[in-house]
Chains A and B, each alone.
Chain A
């Protein structure tokens, strides 16, 4: 049996070198409130699975507007104390006020009322062990904040207004959002500590069938894609420098 050579590749040597010459002090940690987020495109044809936190900033066509993940499926050399989880939906040109003609395809509100927000299940696992399964995640895991608009849905088009039995009528554009009440946020209680380098996976799946986008009149996969996101909110613990 080989006899280990003392002080060769031992923890003491690494610790000694790190203490004297290292750029990071692993004996002390700094904590700060932090959000990790990951946006993916919801295809107009629908999808069986949307995979979040699977890409990092700097990947092809991925910028800080899409994600701030340092590593694929892990937080790298940092711990993260997960306190809440939320989803978000965004689109560049969400509401084209002149486009709504009364059909479902011409407003994103259709998708909120009868589209993919009524479907799906979020699966969150750490080290392949399930930690959360939630149906209708875009409703049950709403965002922390959002914008609110109050408007009167007046008449935008009225033809042959001679009586109430003939002619055409179209109201102004409807406006529907996810709930934006902070108390609706899904909190992990107790919180979950995701250790450094711990692999996790977060997907939204549609095992009961595809749910295509209804508002195809304003949404498309190239110039005006529908982006959906999962946000992890909590406390980041990183070694001092």
Chain B
């Protein structure tokens, strides 16, 4: 059971060729549910796929993360070239049953109209927080207001937004706030950063100036009275995965 024996066995019967490596562009991402009552920290890359999100109590799937090990990217080298931070609502169908998901007028019925309105709280969230990234417990990056300064670089293009109201409601303005959707504004790393196999990472968004905005019983629209939205935040490491050939 010497290394020579293992090496010979691997070469003859192994499923991967560790003497040759393949490079592909493959982002690594992790999504967590937002604590709508406010929080001082969001922790990313700690709950891998298949485990339960501590806030949403839902099982994480490939839609939320492609992390297979807590705190590391596993047996690959990763060339980190971009950091992208996203926060937003989960789809209407996955919102709280009976309130938001069933609101026929939810999207265009004065989202920002009431106080506390969802859009104003969301806008506050985008402007706050500090992204802290460490490798092997050594600090590497601190990005202030990461949802603004390290935007996702994806989204939709809103050419015009709609509005409507029903009888007995006050006429309200409707706005739709979204993050920067331009890829050219994404936080690029220069120089790039190599993340070695099994290297332990710490990725958090902290709110040292007080808890994050409270979305509990936020007015989403005039039709649905105060209701708590379901939100998610994501940190994406974009770059190159270097893995052994097969």
User: Chain A residues in contact with chain B, CB under 8 A?
Assistant: 46, 100-105, 107, 109-110, 112-121, 123, 129, 131-136, 139-140, 142, 148-153, 164-181, 183-184, 187-190, 192, 205-212, 214
* Shortest Cβ distance from residue B110 to the other chain A in the assembled complex, whole angstroms: 10
Given A183-B184, A188-B25, A207-B62, A119–B156 Cβ distance below 8 Å?
Answer: no
Decide if B92 touches A123 in the complex (CB within 8 Å): no
Decide if B160 touches A189 in the complex (CB within 8 Å): no
**10 A-B pairs, CB-CB below 8 angstroms?**
A115-B91, A116-B91, A118-B91, A119-B90, A148-B157, A151-B160, A164-B171, A170-B162, A187-B25, A208-B94
Which residues does chain B contribute within 8 Å of A211, judged by CB atoms?
91, 93-94
Q: Which residue of B lies closest to A175 (CB)?
A: B159
Which residues does chain A contribute within 8 Å of B107, judged by CB atoms?
104, 109-110, 113-114
Decide if B24 touches A136 in the complex (CB within 8 Å): no
Pick the contact of A177 from B88, B104, B159, B164 — CB < 8 Å? B159
* Shortest Cβ distance from residue B57 to the other chain A in the assembled complex, whole angstroms: 13
Decide if B63 touches A206 in the complex (CB within 8 Å): yes
Q: Which residue of B lies closest to A205 (CB)?
A: B62
Which residues does chain A contribute within 8 Å of B104, judged by CB atoms?
103-105
Decide if B88 touches A104 in the complex (CB within 8 Å): no
Pick the contact of B162 from A172, A206, A212 — CB < 8 Å? A172
* Shortest Cβ distance from residue A154 to the other chain B in the assembled complex, whole angstroms: 10
Bound state CA distance, A173 and B159, in angstroms?
11
**Interface-side segment among B26-34, B123-131, B134-142:** B26-34
Q: 17 new A-B pairs (CB below 8 Å) besides A123-B62, A171-B163? A: A102-B163, A103-B108, A104-B103, A116-B91, A118-B90, A132-B25, A136-B154, A139-B155, A153-B162, A165-B170, A169-B171, A174-B108, A179-B155, A184-B183, A208-B64, A212-B93, A214-B92
Bound state CA distance, A176 and B181, in angstroms?
13
Decide if B156 touches A166 in the complex (CB within 8 Å): no
User: What per-residue 1/0 map shows which CB atoms of B21-43 lie under 8 Å from chain A?
Assistant: 00111110101000000000000
Which residues of B73-112 are within 8 A (CB) of A? 88-94, 103-109
- Residue from A103, A110, A116, A132 with most neighbouring chain B CB atoms (10 Å): A103
Which residues does chain B contribute within 8 Å of A121, judged by CB atoms?
61-63
Answer whether residue B153 sits at the interface, using C-beta atoms and an 8 A cutoff. Answer: yes
Rank and list the top 3 A-B pairs by shortest CB-CB distance, nearest first.
Answer: A102-B164, A174-B162, A207-B61
Decide if A153 touches B163 in the complex (CB within 8 Å): yes
Which residues does chain A contribute within 8 Å of B234, judged by CB atoms?
135
- Residue from A134, A135, A192 with most neighbouring chain B CB atoms (10 Å): A135
Which residues does chain B contribute within 8 Å of A117, judged by CB atoms?
156
Pick the contact of B156 from A112, A164, A170, A207 — CB < 8 Å? A112
Which residues does chain B contribute within 8 Å of A205, judged by CB atoms?
62-63
